[in-house]
Structure 1
Amino acid sequence: MDDLVDGFGRRFHYLRLSVTEVCNFRCTYCLPDGFKKTAPLTFLTPLECERVVRAFADLGVSKIRLTGGEPSVRRDLAQIIARTAAVPGVSKVCITTNGWNLERQIDVWRQAGLTNLNVSIDSLDREGFRRITGHDRLPAVVAGLDRALELGVPAVKVNGVLMRDTAEDGFADFVEFVRERPVAVRFIELMRTGDNAEFFADQHIPGTVLTNWLTERGWTPRARAFDDGPAVEYVHPDFAGRIGLIAPYAPGFCDSCNRLRITARGQLRLCLFGELGVGLKDLLEVDAPEALQARILAALAGKPAGHRLHEGNAGDTRQLAQFGG
């Protein structure tokens, strides 16, 4: 079945499922003061995660990304991966992680059915990494990524936030990083959220800084797959990996939107930078697949054409850990 089409003709094959709001890093652009508990930590259970994945898979979604917060703070993450991987129609089971538990857990995740891994690394300079994240863990994070490559995880990517302080020197470091590694490094333009106005004003730079840098050095754009995220990736014949850009402020960024989001508390978010959400938790606590799909389809009619970041409007998104980025 392929029923997830919004009022603008966009088809949705990709679901981002947050499994926790908790994060153990203190990244300067997201949670500089660390995670603060503001409500009981009553997040979706493994069974509820499976139920929502089944509902979306029956509606044509084939790619599931487990996010947080930091998903690996959940001790039952491998169980969630396994349940997700077993759902008919799901061909890609992905995780986005800060890498804290990667070296210790990647073997278990791979055995459970993980097919795609995204690791957040904002700097390959050890001191720069510590300054941004609050933790001196870069060697362990890179070791976990290299172990994923050894295990044959089919798609391994690195996410880094594009910031003024780490831009051009960082580009050179990451290009060298992918010389021998078949890894895609994607820089994400810093986004304005409810809590980071001052940091955004100081550190935001346009993605053209990266694309111009790459083009001058012989890198060329690569074609996108139908279920890819919004990154435009560049390739070079002398390098095993790729360098990409996710540019939410670029014209037409939302035109090819192909993903929906479920929060760790069971709300359907139609846009990362929207407002409110559609509650699904009551239908996930019971086995009600038809009612669940009906509510999802009804909600999709309200998906907006695009975000309003250009107006300085981040919706009710205080920080990215809140809804899984």
Structure 2
Amino acid sequence: MLIDNFKREFRYLRLSITDVCNFRCDYCLPDGYECDTERKFLSPDEIRRLVTGFAQTGISKIRLTGGEPALRKDLTEIIEICKNVKGIDTVALTTNGFNLSKKITEWKNAGLDALNVSIDSLRPDVFKQITGFDKLNEILAGLEIAQSLNFNAVKVNAVLLNGFNHRQLDEFKHWIKDKEMTLRFIELMQTGDNLDYFNKHHISGADIKKTLIDDGWVEKIKHKNAGPAQEFSHSDYQGNIGLIMPYSPDFCHTCNRLRISALGNLHLCLFAEQGYSIREWLQTDQQLPDLVTQLHRLLNTKAATHDLHNLNTGATKHLAMLGG
């Protein structure tokens, strides 16, 4: 198993398969996607070897991210590849949902176990203001189809933004009252190009947590493969609420995830100073033992925590680079 110098066990891999995105979210790519690297993204064969190597180290959950992963025409094939690797129990996908209604059944049939959809507001005008597109109703229709397909988990992600959705907590809670899903509020994170935006729009997740607890929400026990979200349930609601709070003091203590960029770089943290190319060990099946050796070696360099509190965002220019 992959265990770092701080005794943290890693069972969860976030695998970006493209850094391209077709939305212009205000907090991530306000000017749209700009190609600043060669778009030689990992091939299906490289992905198969990568996931196989990670599975041999104890990784059991793969989350496919972007950019927008659904922009890859071979996404269905990639889902099937990941699902068929021995040792992988869960294949999840994070998407902006732009073609969810058309593709979700196909992805489910390929082996997709869990789905996260980004919906930053339930008001069409605010959604368009944040993302640049009038797609909310279409995405909600796709989400409704997904809920009928018996996924292990269906979650909705919303980035907390002062001035946009910060007063919509009650609307979101009402929306999940009769829905068996988890709504997760993500604290806005500073990246290399958004300091002014961060200072203007950041909201502390701790304030939302206090509001939930005061309203009778109770924190749930985490599964070993779960991400960093603190999840809460309420006896009056079918849905749950999660909070992802990277600025909380103990956020990194239970870190269990690693990240691979679409170009085959291992990032030990979303805000690490650099990624380490492991692509050279993905060219033949015979290189798998060397890949596993490299993963163990590189993990020894993982830091105890990110340095966001000191305004150090590492190499992360924007969240589309690694899918968050």
Q: TM-score range by the shorter chain?
A: over 0.9
Equivalence map 1:12-31=2 (5 Å) = 12-31=10-29
For 1:302, the equivalent position in structure 2 comes to: 301
2-structure distance, mates of 1:177, 1:12: 34
For 1:131, the equivalent position in structure 2 comes to: 129
Q: CA deviation at 1:105?
A: 0.5
Partner SS state of residue 167, structure 2: helix
Relative to structure 2, which stretch is displaced further, 50-59 or 167-176? 167-176
The letter of the residue matching 2:36 is T
Q: CA deviation at 1:168?
A: 4.4
Relative to structure 2, which stretch is displaced further, 201-210 or 130-139? 201-210
Equivalence map 1:154-193=2 (5 Å) = 154-193=152-191
For 1:114, the equivalent position in structure 2 comes to: 112
Equivalence map 1:235-254=2 (5 Å) = 235-254=233-252
The letter of the residue matching 2:194 is N
For 1:145, the equivalent position in structure 2 comes to: 143
8 Å CA contact 2:271–2:306 kept in 1: the answer is: yes
1-structure distance, mates of 2:111, 2:135: 26
- The root-mean-square deviation of aligned C-alpha atoms, in Å, is 0.9
Q: CA deviation at 1:167?
A: 4.4
Partner SS state of residue 198, structure 1: helix
How many correspondences in the alignment?
Answer: 323
Q: CA deviation at 1:169?
A: 2.7
Partner SS state of residue 255, structure 1: coil
Q: CA deviation at 1:209?
A: 2.0
Unaligned runs of 5+ in 1: none
Question: Is 2:208 aligned against 1:210?
Answer: yes
Aligned match of 1:65 in 39, 63, 66?
Answer: 63
Provide TM-score, normalisation by structure 1: 0.98
Question: In the TM superposition, what whole-angstrom CA distance separates every residue of 1:212-263 from its partner, at most 9, and x where no partner exists?
Answer: 2212222111111111100001111111110111000000110000000110
For 1:34, the equivalent position in structure 2 comes to: 32
For 1:292, the equivalent position in structure 2 comes to: 291
Relative to structure 2, which stretch is displaced further, 156-165 or 74-83? 156-165
1-structure distance, mates of 2:140, 2:234: 22
Identity score, percent: 47
8 Å CA contact 2:183–2:240 kept in 1: the answer is: yes
2-structure distance, mates of 1:144, 1:102: 5
Q: CA deviation at 1:150?
A: 0.5
Provide TM-score, normalisation by structure 2: 0.98
8 Å CA contact 2:117–2:155 kept in 1: the answer is: yes
2-structure distance, mates of 1:88, 1:4: 17
Relative to structure 2, which stretch is displaced further, 214-223 or 52-61? 214-223
The letter of the residue matching 1:93 is V
For 1:311, the equivalent position in structure 2 comes to: 310
2-structure distance, mates of 1:221, 1:282: 43
For 1:76, the equivalent position in structure 2 comes to: 74
2-structure distance, mates of 1:167, 1:41: 34
Greater than 3 Å deviation, 4+ residue runs = none
Q: CA deviation at 1:285?
A: 2.1
For 1:266, the equivalent position in structure 2 comes to: 264
Unaligned runs of 5+ in 2: none
